[in-house]
Amino acid sequence: MKKIAMTTPPLTEETAQQLAAELTALAQQEKAKLGAADARYLLKLVQWQRIFAISGRLLMLGCFWSVWFLLPAVLLLALAKIIDNMEIGHNVLHGQYDFLQHRYLNSKQFEWDIACDAKSWQRTHNFEHHTYTNIIGQDRDFGYGLLRLSSDFRWRLRNLWQVLTYFMLSTLFQWGVSYHELAGQRVFFGKKKHDRNTQVTDLELKRAFFGKGLKQLAKDYVFFPLLCWPVFGWVLLGNFLANLIRNWWTATVIFCGHFTEQIYTFKAEDCENESRGQWFYRQMLGSSNFTGPRWLHILTGHLSCQIEHHLFPDLPAWRYPELAKQVQQIAKRHGIPYNTGSFASQYFSVLRRILRYSLPG
């Protein structure tokens, strides 16, 4: 384990057992409450998301009379895309609402409004990232293979301009996420790694990548613009801007939860045969939270409570803010760092980390 503070205590076997017992009990306590309130929240959220999406697309027609209609139209459509991506899509695909047995709002049937195929994301994120969080060489989400965010990786010349790479990744984030599994499996470029297992063939990955990507391109940049032919250009521009806003927002939220200055990295050999308590400990040290009003939590998919999400990925995320209070008390009781701060402070912390590791050493 790579530590960033000398005051961080080692995790004793006794503490690990206590941590596992307390966090498991907390999860079971919360699971006992699941029911009608969760269904109401999810269905109401879907209803509002649809209202925002329909309103945004209808307002784009107003550009026939005035271009000023484009601003509220873009903001409403971007809001709908953010909610679909973060609070609905991310959490439904984690199986947080599978207990409701909804016919399509479940982890097997749901498909979100981004270029990434849902099943591909589940393989790289739900399994790899959440199982091997911040373990160098096993968690492909750490830096996405593009950014050097730890001295565990050797410095390369391209790291000098990685802050620009980060801004480009944020701009094209839905496509970066979509291509992530193919990049890891060296489908188009690079030499395949013999120790890297895959659940699907390269052909299946290509079909999913191009199939979902082309569907999204056709929907946003062909179908809807043609449907509104008199304002074709404005609708095309509006959809592009809405996707851009969603991409930047999603990337910013995810980076603030995973790549602040205070997060830890781990070596594979140090995590072999880890106990449940040690796994909980790694999740807490490898994640960051940020504070804000309720609307901010909703727009982040409640990934503002990234620590709680990594501890309890299958619990409905809207419950995280209350859980966070108890998790923070548990962390304090055991002397475990609990990384949280304002949205702005965590974002600048991310930028400092990116810049710090863009230099050798």
In sequence order, which residues have a C-beta less than 8 Å from that of residue 206 and are 6 or more positions away?
Answer: 182, 187
Confidence class of residue 3 from pLDDT cuts 50, 70 and 90?
very low
Where are the extended beta strands (E) located within the chain? none
The answer to whether the CB of 132 falls within 8 A of the CB of 283 is no
Tens-place pLDDT, residues 150-207: 999 999 999 999 999 999 999 999 999 999 999 888 888 777 766 666 778 989 999 9
CA–CA gap between residue 118 and residue 115 (Å, rounded): 9
Query: pTM (2 decimals)?
Result: 0.94
Tens-place pLDDT, residues 51-103: 999 999 999 999 999 999 999 999 999 999 999 999 999 999 999 999 999 99
- What is the radius of gyration, based on Cα positions, of the chain? 21
Backbone angles phi, psi at 2, to 5 degrees: -95, 115
CB atoms within 10 A of CB 244: 17
